[in-house]
Amino acid sequence: MTRVAGSEKSPAADNVRTLTFALLDARAVDATICPSEVARALVADDAPDSWRDVMPVVHMAVDALVTEGRVRLSWKGKPLAARDGPYRIGRVHAADSRG
């Protein structure tokens, strides 16, 4: 699996997007996921500690998903407008997109 990305359209970023939605789909509708869960799912089983190396790719792909309005960010139940420090990733609901 590609672990280095040059842009949000890289194969690794596409994998992050796919994994993000797969992890969200496996959870309750209002559940959120940690970006490190995405990173851990992205790395090879033979290098489980390398998830930190792919966090920049995860952050970049999540930023793009937020910009596209495809996911929302929160921390301790409070919405975040942008990634700043620790965060959780959640689905965008109809109420979220109503301004």
The predicted structure's pLDDT at residue 6: 39
Give the residue among 68, 51, 69 at the shortest CA–CA distance from 12: 51
pLDDT digits (tens, 9 = 90+) for 13-55: 888 999 999 999 999 999 999 999 999 998 877 777 889 999 9
Contacts of 45 (CB under 8 A, 6+ apart): none
Alpha-carbon distances, residue 70 vs 24, 26, 37, 46, 58 (angstroms): 12, 17, 18, 31, 15
CATH class of domain segment(s) 11-91: mainly alpha
Each domain of the chain, given as residue ranges in start order, spans 11-91
| pTM attached to this predicted model | 0.81
